[in-house]
Amino acid sequence: MPPLDERAVALILKRMLNYQQQPLDLVFQALADPTRRGMIARLTRGPASVSELAEPFDMSLPAVVQHLQVLESSGLVTSEKIGRVRTCKIEPKMMMTAEDWISSQRASWEARLDRLGEYLKELQAKGKKIGRKR
């Protein structure tokens, strides 16, 4: 077997990293790009062909397809080819998974901030009592 060149090593490494990512990580990675967020926004109105999704973006069709592959690998989008047309649609399950995670984080931070607020009020009340004694 011949030794692997740099490109082959990079490709293998990229695939290994992709396999190690958790589903939620893939969702946030997919949503990190404004083009993909735009595609998701369009798909919330209903299914669309790849050409329709490509219209508002100044990029080649192969670049749009790469973005769609990221969205599909994250589980946010599915596509189906009927004849010569590939139609994409949003898959709300993974979006709900991300939303659930964000909601749980929000609830956790709100509870922490509430406790901090209570603690600061206690400190402020103690400070006022100490100030009166002087």
- Bridge partners of 87, per DSSP, are 49, 80
Per CATH, the number for 22-133 is 1.10.10.10
| Domain locations along the chain | 22-133
Confidence of residue 8 (pLDDT cuts 50, 70, 90): confident
What is the per-residue pLDDT across 74-113, written as a single tens digit (0 to 9) for each? 999 999 999 999 999 999 898 898 899 899 999 999 999 9
Mean pLDDT of the 62-84 span: 94
Q: In whole angstroms, give the CA distance from residue 84 to residue 88.
A: 13
Q: Kindly report, residue by residue over 25-47, the tens digit of the pLDDT.
A: 899 999 999 999 999 999 999 99
Helix (H, G, I), strand (E, B) or coil at 117: helix
